[in-house]
Structure 1
Amino acid sequence: MTEHTTGTATAAVADAPTLATDPGLFTPAPGAAPMWRMVAAQAGMELRVMLRHGEQFLLTMVIPVLLLVGFSLTTVLDVGEGARVDALTPGILALAIMSTSFTGLAIGTGFERRYGVLKRLGATPLSRFGLLAAKTLAVLAVQAIQITVLGVVALLLGWAPTLSPLGVLAALALVLLGTAAFSSLALLMAGTLRAEATLAGANLVYVLLLGLGGVLFPTSSFPGPMEQAVSVLPITALASGLREVLSHGALPGAGAFLVLVVWTAVCGLLASRLFRWE
């Protein structure tokens, strides 16, 4: 019995890899995870943080719903001919997209930068591009919830959108480009200004674009020079494009896409160059 046990142990030791036969067995292999995995993990964390903040929930969900319901059921605001909810819903969707991808993102990122959260992220293998991509993915996830909730509320109010397969693709492209444009602008502001300045500036821009960006009514009611001036704003391009698709059943003009592409390219380039971790 003893000889059998000893022989088995000896054979196991002889068959086991050792440093002599496998030099890499105990050699450390440090290295960063693949970029897609880092971005996915960061996006998941960003989404959880965004959903836990009551202030952001108020800004992104409650205010758009209240505006949609309030102005659809009252005649305080002149929204033109046709059903009020049909005229209001595209602009409210654009406002919800802006509230998440610009205002909420800018304020949240600005205070993360102030409290040193971004400084610690800067010490990880996550690059500026990875951080921007993760925040954009989290914003898109929140927007999917927003669009679903607002769509259900609008349908309950009698919304009857005119949709076609090509129109759905056009609306999706507008939403993605609008998200990219607003996110780039938000991160440019949050990555270069102090947190207090970002807070004040983001709220000021939100109010100004709410009134001047064709959210609650078309910009065609503005005087000629003013209408031309606001047509280059991203919120105007997004709201007018969605209104063409959802209310009129027509494809938006190339100008709406061009405005959003230019804002995305310029702000994205500046954000990637000027964004500071602290």
Structure 2
Amino acid sequence: MRAWRLLIVAELTSVARDTAGLMIPIALPMLILVGNALHVPADALARYVLPIVFATVIGTVGIVNMPSFLAVYRTTGVLRRLAVTPVHPSAVLGAQLAAGALQVLAGVLLAALVAVAGFGAAAPAAPLLTVAVLLLVTAAMFATGLVVAAVAPSANSAVAIGLALFFGIGTVGGMFGPVTRLPEPVARAGEALPFGAAVRVLGDAWAGAGPHPAGLLSLAVCTVVCGLLAVRLFRWS
């Protein structure tokens, strides 16, 4: 447990030193939140904008930031060297997931506080349901990011692949406007991908409605399939 705690502290220190990686998961979602809060009513802010902000926080951490750190550890031989110590390389993976989860927690809490206290958005009608859905979204986004980490040969390629994937699923999932503006097949595909599914179920949960089963199923399938792919494809050296 002591080694586990030290690894988490080391990961958080590395994150804190990466200024761009630390700011983007906070700055980009806050820009989306404030930019929309100035033009939409408070009820729409809570129902439609906050889910996009939450999905952006989770996606940037899980799909962009985390894979880049893991790719650096692999290409610099950190994981290979750990393999000959009592600390298995998988412990670094677990510590990176824990550090990412703490970043997500900070970003989500900050966005919710700004929306509710600063712009009059309604608090979640079903807090426990909202937390449960946030955990599922985080699992799906992180599993997707692990696949990126598994196939990216370098840190730069991990960032490039992660950004392309994140903005790709975000574009068809409602990040830049309602999916109703997209062609019907593209909109349906976007709602089935992690970002679109996250926006849909988070909006339902925040409003106290039962999340759409198709969205929950999409996120669960993504978590399982991407998790299995990551395990199969991931290289420690």
TM class by shorter chain equals 0.7 to 0.9
Q: Deviations over 1:154-205 (max 9, x none)?
A: 12442423533xx222221222122222222212221232113222111112
Mapped to 2, the partners of 1:67 and 1:37 lie a distance apart of 39
Deviation at 1:124, TM superposition (A): 2.9
Mapped to 2, the partners of 1:121 and 1:66 lie a distance apart of 40
Deviation at 1:130, TM superposition (A): 3.4
Deviation at 1:38, TM superposition (A): 4.3
Alpha carbons 1:92, 1:216 under 8 Å: kept: no
Mapped to 1, the partners of 2:129 and 2:215 lie a distance apart of 11
Residue of structure 2 in register with 1:41 after alignment = 6
Tell me the amino acid that sits aligned with residue 83 of structure 2: G
Residue of structure 2 in register with 1:108 after alignment = 69
Deviation at 1:128, TM superposition (A): 5.5
Q: TM-score, normalised by structure 1?
A: 0.76
Please list, as runs of the form range in 1=range in 2, the aligned pairs for 1:226-241 lying within 5 A after superposition: 226-241=186-201
Tell me the amino acid that sits aligned with residue 96 of structure 1: V
Alpha carbons 1:99, 1:206 under 8 Å: kept: yes
SS of the equivalent of 1:231 reads helix
Alpha carbons 1:162, 1:249 under 8 Å: kept: no
107 and 206 in structure 1: CA distance in 2 versus 1, 3 angstrom threshold: same
Alpha carbons 1:218, 1:240 under 8 Å: kept: no
User: Which of 155, 166, 185 is residue 144 of structure 2 equivalent to?
Assistant: 185
Residue of structure 2 in register with 1:56 after alignment = 21
Residue of structure 1 in register with 2:81 after alignment = 120
Number of residue-to-residue matches in the alignment: 235
SS of the equivalent of 1:161 reads coil
Residue of structure 1 in register with 2:96 after alignment = 135
Mapped to 2, the partners of 1:235 and 1:125 lie a distance apart of 38
Please list, as runs of the form range in 1=range in 2, the aligned pairs for 1:219-258 lying within 5 A after superposition: 219-246=179-206, 248-258=207-217
Q: TM-score, normalised by structure 2?
A: 0.87
Mapped to 2, the partners of 1:40 and 1:188 lie a distance apart of 25
Tell me the amino acid that sits aligned with residue 130 of structure 1: A
Tell me the amino acid that sits aligned with residue 198 of structure 1: A
Tell me the amino acid that sits aligned with residue 52 of structure 2: G
The unaligned stretches of length 5 or more in structure 2 are none
Mapped to 2, the partners of 1:252 and 1:216 lie a distance apart of 22
SS of the equivalent of 1:277 reads coil
Residue of structure 1 in register with 2:53 after alignment = 92
SS of the equivalent of 1:251 reads coil
Mapped to 2, the partners of 1:218 and 1:124 lie a distance apart of 51
162 and 185 in structure 1: CA distance in 2 versus 1, 3 angstrom threshold: same
Residue of structure 2 in register with 1:6 after alignment = none
Alpha carbons 1:88, 1:217 under 8 Å: kept: no
Residue of structure 2 in register with 1:198 after alignment = 158
User: Which of 106, 122, 125 is residue 161 of structure 1 equivalent to?
Assistant: 122
Q: Deviations over 1:71-110 (max 9, x none)?
A: 3224xxxx7x875533311211111111112211112222
Residue of structure 1 in register with 2:36 after alignment = 71
RMSD of aligned residue pairs (Cα, Å): 2.3
71 and 233 in structure 1: CA distance in 2 versus 1, 3 angstrom threshold: same
188 and 56 in structure 1: CA distance in 2 versus 1, 3 angstrom threshold: same
Larger Rg: 1
Q: Deviations over 1:8-65 (max 9, x none)?
A: xxxxxxxxxxxxxxxxxxxxxxxxxxxx554443223222221221011221111111
